[in-house]
């Protein structure tokens, strides 16, 4: 392990962890371009490492949100089943097409969603979620799960952003519950995605994998604890700021590549 490798993994994990803890953002949106640009790793392998880094980070974030009663397990399970199925489909398709085919999609989604939270914050109350019929929630969850799962498996990024957008804009969740439910689902989609990536392409670098997992887990824990103690207004601003900064940084990294 070199100092440069440690620095890249730590910084990548910090950005990914903050994005996960605040907004349920996929770690791959940050870690993948960092590993490809600065450690010259093959993109498909980098996506696998990034998805593996997502597993524990999303799990500890989901636990923190759940402990604060900001997690909807019942509806989350419906979306999760669909997302898991189409993550496998997306990962399989990803192995057969150019890896950069949709690479910029998640970057622009991150920027736009960040601006949305700053300009038009999500201030929905939990009571409003109870007004939607169970049948409608199931149909919406399945349709959203198909789209989110395929995106997550195909590019290893954008799934968390799409899920957060779907939960807040389509299913009408308030922000904390949306993020909590998102990271709960992402725990299992990231696990499925990483295992399928490693089964197809193998593990290239165990040291990089371990460093990225540790750093992402640390910063996701910090972000999730802060988010659950914040007011909705503060959380919207913090989430928006983190997403905008990460979007700009990722664009810069992609430009260097």
**Integer Rg of the chain from CA:** 17
Residue 194 has pLDDT above 50, yes or no: yes
Note if the pTM is more than 0.85: no
Token readout for 23 is 């907004």
pLDDT at 13: 95
Q: What is the pLDDT of residues 208-234, one digit of tens each?
A: 999 999 999 999 999 999 999 998 889
Residue 145 has pLDDT above 50, yes or no: yes
Residues 213, 194: contact at Cβ < 8 Å? no
- Residue with the two structure tokens 């450690």: 39
Token readout for 134 is 């169970």
Provide the mean pLDDT of the chain.
83
Residue 56 has pLDDT above 60, yes or no: yes
Higher pLDDT, 255 or 188: 188
Q: Which of 39, 254, 257, 59 is nearest to 157 (CA)?
A: 254
Higher pLDDT, 245 or 107: 245
DSSP state of 168: I
pLDDT at 101: 47
């Amino acid at each position: 392990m070199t100092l440069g490798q440690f620095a890249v993994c730590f910084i990548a994990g910090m950005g990914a962890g903050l994005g996960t803890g605040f907004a349920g953002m996929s770690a791959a949106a940050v870690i993948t371009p960092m590993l490809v640009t600065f450690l010259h790793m093959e993109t498909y392998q980098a996506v696998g490492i990034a998805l593996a880094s997502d597993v524990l980070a999303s799990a500890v974030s989901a636990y923190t949100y759940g402990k604060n009663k900001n997690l909807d397990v019942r509806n989350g399970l419906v979306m999760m089943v669909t997302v898991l199925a189409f993550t496998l489909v997306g990962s399989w398709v990803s192995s057969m097409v150019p890896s950069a085919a949709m690479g910029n999609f998640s970057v622009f989604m991150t920027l736009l969603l960040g601006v949305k939270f700053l300009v038009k914050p999500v201030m929905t109350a939990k009571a409003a979620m109870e007004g939607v019929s169970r049948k409608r929630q199931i149909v919406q969850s399945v349709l959203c799960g198909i789209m989110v799962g395929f995106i997550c498996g195909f590019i290893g990024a954008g799934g968390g952003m799409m899920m957060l957008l779907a939960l807040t804009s389509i299913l009408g969740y308030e922000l904390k519950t949306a993020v909590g439910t998102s990271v709960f689902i992402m725990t299992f989609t990231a696990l499925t995605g990483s295992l399928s990536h490693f089964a197809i392409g193998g593990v290239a670098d165990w040291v990089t994998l371990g460093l990225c997992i540790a750093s992402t887990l640390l910063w996701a824990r910090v972000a999730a604890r802060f988010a659950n103690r914040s007011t909705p207004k503060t959380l919207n601003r913090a989430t928006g700021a983190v997403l905008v900064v990460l979007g700009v940084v990722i664009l810069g990294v992609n430009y260097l590549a």
